[in-house]
Amino acid sequence: MSTSPRQRTAQQLPSGRHGLPRSYIIHNQRERILHAVVIVAARQGYGAMTIEEVVAVAGVSRRTYYDHFSNKEEGFLAAYDLVVEQVAEVVTAAFTSGATWPERIRRGVGAFLEHLAAEPDLAHLCVVEILAAGPRALERRTSAMRRFHSFFLPDEEHASEAGPDAPLAAEAAIGGLYEIVYGRVLTHQTEELPELLPALIRSLLLPFVGRPVADAEYRAAAHHVELRRQRRETSPAA
């Protein structure tokens, strides 16, 4: 790549004295580097990603990169942690907004799919590239997946249906969800993810709730998808 690391990007801070506090600049530099890691890793894959390209996209010097991270892997893992943190925040907020456990699941999974669809690069990093970035990355992924298992542990009202193997069912549900998402992200169909919600949510809920409840959530999700489609048709720019 011929881009000079000195070349200014849109996000680069103006040089010289800008009166910003040093802590702000450091924070901002770190975020810019992590954002650049997401872009470069998604486009080229972790294996082909270089620090040169990351600093060129971030508009920081090589030295600045090494002030924050000791090598390529450290930058990648920090980007993954940040992405997972964001996803967890979005999903938790949506999950807690539901009145019943099945509705929480529908809202949480819906928010997850929408978040990924809105940021295909970010989706690629946390769903696909994390698998190709070595043993430490796989450990991070395992603990991130474990974090999401707990959403699928049903509340008291729905625990009896799932039976004593509820933790296994939760683990399986996360695996099923991951496999569907992975397939779409790998084939660059990330933007279509939200449209899968109705069929996906029915499938994911069936091990835990009876068919009437799963069907009701299917209809609610289908309605949501329809509204979303209409919104997009009336304002294509949105």
Q: Smallest distance, Å, CB 202 to another protein?
A: 8
Nearer to another protein, 94 or 109 (CB): 109
Burial readout 97-115 (b: 16 or more C-beta within 10 A, e: otherwise): ebeebbbbbbbbbbbbbbb
Q: What are the tokens at 105?
A: 């699941």
Q: Smallest distance, Å, CB 217 to another protein?
A: 14
Residue 34, φ and ψ in degrees, nearest 5 = -65, -40
Q: Smallest distance, Å, CB 175 to another protein?
A: 2
Are the beta carbons of 190 and 116 closer than 8 angstroms?
yes
Nearer to another protein, 175 or 223 (CB): 175
Residues of this chain that interact with another protein (CB under 8 A) are 45-47, 131-132, 134-135, 138, 142, 145, 165, 168-169, 171-180, 182-183, 186, 196, 199-200, 203-204, 206-207, 211
Q: Smallest distance, Å, CB 65 to another protein?
A: 23
Nearer to another protein, 33 or 133 (CB): 133
Nearer to another protein, 111 or 193 (CB): 193
Q: Smallest distance, Å, CB 112 to another protein?
A: 14
Q: Smallest distance, Å, CB 92 to another protein?
A: 21
Q: What are the tokens at 23?
A: 């802590």
Nearer to another protein, 55 or 166 (CB): 166
Q: Smallest distance, Å, CB 45 to another protein?
A: 7
Nearer to another protein, 66 or 182 (CB): 182
Nearer to another protein, 145 or 216 (CB): 145
